Amino acid sequence: MCSRQFSRRARGVTLIELILFMVIMGVAAAGIIGVINLSNKSSAEPLRRKQALMIAEALMEEVQLARFTFCTPDDPNAASAANQAACVTPMRVGARAAGANRPYGNVADYALVAGQPTFTFAVNNVDVDISGNRLGVDSTGATMGNASLAPIRSTVTLNFVAGLGPAGAAITSSAGALNALQITITTTYGGANEFVRLDAYRTRYAPNVLP
């Protein structure tokens, strides 16, 4: 009885299978690279937004910590006035003295006109700290970190308040009776739609405490 020995040849891939493999791998690689690029592009935005938020919070704190009096600080009745009518020069929004430096002595000094955004914190279109130094630079003027904070700019808006508080005891303010102000800080960090906005209220609870 004779036996026949069959040789087994290793079977490779066909040209069609190779082409399909290359197409599938190419599509998969393109998808992965696209996700990585999107992730890298978006990763800087949350950081920039966090920076803008921190700046807005610091500026809001500066405004809220200012005094809020019936009269301007140099008024002879500033320490004793019972209302704005008793002042020689009552406090008004935008009544900041010429040449005054930050931090200003009164909340109302932080805007030029009620209801209108003011670039109070900017010098030469760049936000600065209370010492006049550009934000995000060291004592030598060199940029700290990987990116300058120069594109980040902030405005403050002071609005009169109508009906703040519970019914029957609501606080209302006007130009002649600045009992409270709504403070709005808007900090932009990119395009027109890339900004953070903070709102707070400041009541005149110590109208005779001078700066």
Parent domain of 127: 48-203
100, pLDDT greater than 80:
yes
31, pLDDT greater than 80:
yes
Q: Is residue 131 part of a domain?
A: yes
* Count of structural domains, the chain: 1
Instruction: Using pLDDT thresholds of 50, 70 and 90, give the confidence band for residue 39.
Output: low
C-beta of residue 197 within 8 angstroms of C-beta of residue 185: yes
pLDDT tens figures, 175-209: 888 999 999 999 999 887 899 999 999 999 999 99
The Cα–Cα gap between 43 and 55 comes to 19
CA contacts within 13 A on the Cβ side of 140:
3
* Largest distance between two CA atoms of the chain: 132
Beta carbons within 10 angstroms of residue 62's beta carbon = 19
Q: Is residue 55 part of a domain?
A: yes
Instruction: Using pLDDT thresholds of 50, 70 and 90, give the confidence band for residue 18.
Output: confident
What is the model's pLDDT at position 58? 96
Q: Is residue 107 part of a domain?
A: yes
Q: Is residue 59 part of a domain?
A: yes
The Cα–Cα gap between 182 and 197 comes to 13
15, pLDDT greater than 60:
yes
The Cα–Cα gap between 108 and 171 comes to 17
Residues counted in the chain: 211
CB neighbours of 71 closer than 8 A, spacing ≥ 6?
A: 77, 78, 81, 84, 86, 87, 88, 89, 90, 91
What residue has token string 């008024």?
75
Q: Is residue 12 part of a domain?
A: no
9, pLDDT greater than 60:
no
158, pLDDT greater than 80:
yes
What residue has token string 């709102």?
199
Q: Which two tokens stand for residue 4?
A: 């026949």
Considering the chain, what is the average pLDDT of its residues? 86
Q: Is residue 209 part of a domain?
A: no
The Cα–Cα gap between 75 and 89 comes to 6
The Cα–Cα gap between 46 and 52 comes to 10
Q: Is residue 11 part of a domain?
A: no
C-beta of residue 165 within 8 angstroms of C-beta of residue 192: no
pTM attached to this predicted model: 0.75
Stretch 12-27: mean pLDDT: 84
C-beta of residue 183 within 8 angstroms of C-beta of residue 60: yes
The Cα–Cα gap between 57 and 152 comes to 14
Judged by DSSP in three states, 188 sits in strand
Q: Is residue 178 part of a domain?
A: yes
